[in-house]
Structure 1
Amino acid sequence: MSDLPDRRLHAYRPDLAEEALRGRVEALAFVEGNPAMVTVPVVQLRPQPDLSASTDTELLLGETVRVLDVAQGWAWVKADRDDYVGYIPDYAVLPDGPVSTHIVTVPRSFVYSGPDLRFPTVQAVSMGCRLKLVGEHSTRGTLYRTLEDGSAVVAAHVAPLEAPPADDFVAVAARFLETPYLWGGRSGFGIDCSGLVQLSLMMAGHAAPRDTDMQEAGLGRAIAPEELRRGDLVFWKGHVAIMEDETTILHANGHSMTVAREPLEEAIGRTERLYGRPTGYRRPIG
């Protein structure tokens, strides 16, 4: 068929496709998919069921997906948050994951084997990970929230899911300064430019597409460069930056290989030779 849907957001193969695409694509069978939950802190989602395939994006602990197929150690999934489609190891999702109660609000934190910072760590978690917390315990003046198995996380590093979101997504993004750049990354352990935009907006209660081209095409509204202010987005071909103020940007970038702060005009001058000048400007909120 011609004019096939974007494979990043629509699940289809010659043998199988999501039910919503019936009549739009050809496939031997169509399925609704089964609900499931991510059960590891961070998992890379790939366009092919192959560990050598590049990473498109990442899914975080507690996020939900639809599982369309499971075969040879891989689950073919569609993320509920942003509709992204791809393959993750099948051990990374379960159909009956715990119902989350809290979300991690700091770039990185730890789950300890018990409510004490001296205890061994069970896992490292990123901002945006979701946990089911059932109790609390104070040790030497530090309050911990506990999981069903007795492990614990620092209470100051999480918030109830029903708590008000952050009121300034730019301040959220700034907390990732010096976080390593990672192609396809979407966590406090490594992040890319559009992942920084998406995750920061999510923590402020705003949905955003995953990739730069999707964000430039439809996130918020287009503005003129002379209108730029804090919270606006500047796009290049394949790149996006967040305005921290009228002259300064925050962005995860391959030049410094970190989330960095730099003057917008310096970034434009530095990148013009390789990537050209900015291609668009958008105001994602308001």
Structure 2
Amino acid sequence: MSDLLDRRLHAYRPDLAEEALRGRVEALAFVEGNPGMITVPVVQLRSTPDLFAGTDTELLLGETVRILDVAQGWAWIKADRDGYVGYVPDYAVVTDGPAPTHIVTVPRSFVYSGPDLRLPTVQALSMGCRLTLVGEHSTRGTLYRTLPDGSAVVAAHVAPLEAPPAPDYVAVAARFLETPYLWGGRSGFGIDCSGLVQLCLMMAGQAAPRDTDMQEAGLGQAIAREALRRGDLVFWKGHVAIMEDDTTILHANGHSMTVAREPLIDAIERVERLYGGPTSYRRPRASE
């Protein structure tokens, strides 16, 4: 029975499984798991507890998870945002900590050791990272938000979590142009095609599945090619692109190894030679 369950979204092993799967899979024990939070700017999530295993996806600072098991330096977790299951180093997640108050709204930014751009940097952050900010300070006309330990971020690079979402997820995606392509990537330091879609829709207030097949199976509604407009999605087998207008796409791709802008017709002709033509077109709600 367990062979029918997608291991990306269902946590089960011979020795342990999530409580929600009781009666559906066989395991020695079942657990609800404990709430946890990611404590590093970006961490790779893998299908097995092995640094040489490929990256399935990435989690960002401040995102919440369920911790199902911790052993031998690894935490087996399930992400709250999209349900993805896998392993991260145990140092990358904690079971308690202050609740985030702000989110990074630019593709990349820094945490400085204090509220001054001339001070050493402590961390590099991606869009989507969540921070606990407790104060503010102005230095030479630049406003900073401060963290509990006195470090700081540029105030213009963050927004309160309760602030209105970005009005146009396509405009968010365009800010990632020239960002390196990274298989399994989901950050401003490296991103893949479905990671770009998910992250930018998230910034626009819309949840989305993580992988291309999941997005094609149920994100938004199917449309005809003739109806394509800004914000619609074009799917190929294993790939997805965002329509910037009715003829141009934005996509993280292995051809340019970047997030690139390209005429849709050129992409169709190039991809078709290797993998076939588009398999479907969809309109996520955020584009309506």
- Structure 1 stretches lacking a partner, 5+ long: none
Q: Displacement, 1:98?
A: 1.8
Separation of aligned partners in 1, 2:263 and 2:53: 35
SS of equivalent residue, structure 2 residue 159: strand
Q: Displacement, 1:221?
A: 0.4
Q: Displacement, 1:3?
A: 4.6
- Structure 2 stretches lacking a partner, 5+ long: none
Separation of aligned partners in 2, 1:2 and 1:208: 25
Q: Displacement, 1:36?
A: 0.5
On the 8 A contact 2:63/2:129 being kept in 1, the answer is yes
Residue 204 of structure 1 aligns with which residue?
Answer: 204
Q: Please report the TM-score for the alignment, with normalisation by the length of structure 1.
A: 0.99
What pairs with 1:172-211 in structure 2 (closer than 5 Å)?
172-211=172-211
Q: Does 1:168 find its partner at 2:168?
A: yes
On the 8 A contact 1:4/1:25 being kept in 2, the answer is no
SS of equivalent residue, structure 2 residue 273: helix
Spell out, residue by residue over 1:95-135, the C-alpha distance to the aligned partner (whole angstroms, 9 max, x if none).
01221000000000000000000000000000000000000
Separation of aligned partners in 2, 1:241 and 1:24: 36
What pairs with 1:215-254 in structure 2 (closer than 5 Å)?
215-254=215-254
Q: Displacement, 1:164?
A: 0.2
Separation of aligned partners in 2, 1:119 and 1:275: 49
Residue correspondences, number: 286
2:86 partner amino acid: G
Residue 276 of structure 2 aligns with which residue?
Answer: 276
Separation of aligned partners in 2, 1:152 and 1:3: 48
Separation of aligned partners in 1, 2:130 and 2:3: 37
Q: Displacement, 1:5?
A: 1.1
Q: Displacement, 1:2?
A: 5.7
On the 8 A contact 2:2/2:24 being kept in 1, the answer is no
What pairs with 1:52-91 in structure 2 (closer than 5 Å)?
52-91=52-91
SS of equivalent residue, structure 1 residue 97: coil
Aligned residues: CA RMSD: 0.6
Separation of aligned partners in 2, 1:205 and 1:99: 19
Q: Please report the TM-score for the alignment, with normalisation by the length of structure 2.
A: 0.99
Separation of aligned partners in 1, 2:94 and 2:236: 38
> Closer, same or farther in 2 for the Cα pair 1:139/1:2, shift >3 Å?
closer
SS of equivalent residue, structure 2 residue 58: strand
Separation of aligned partners in 2, 1:26 and 1:240: 35
Separation of aligned partners in 1, 2:116 and 2:2: 59
Runs of 4+ residues deviating >2 angstroms? 1-4
Residue 256 of structure 2 aligns with which residue?
Answer: 256
Separation of aligned partners in 2, 1:232 and 1:3: 34
Separation of aligned partners in 2, 1:3 and 1:228: 37
Q: Does 1:267 find its partner at 2:267?
A: yes
SS of equivalent residue, structure 1 residue 241: strand
SS of equivalent residue, structure 2 residue 40: coil
Residue 151 of structure 1 aligns with which residue?
Answer: 151
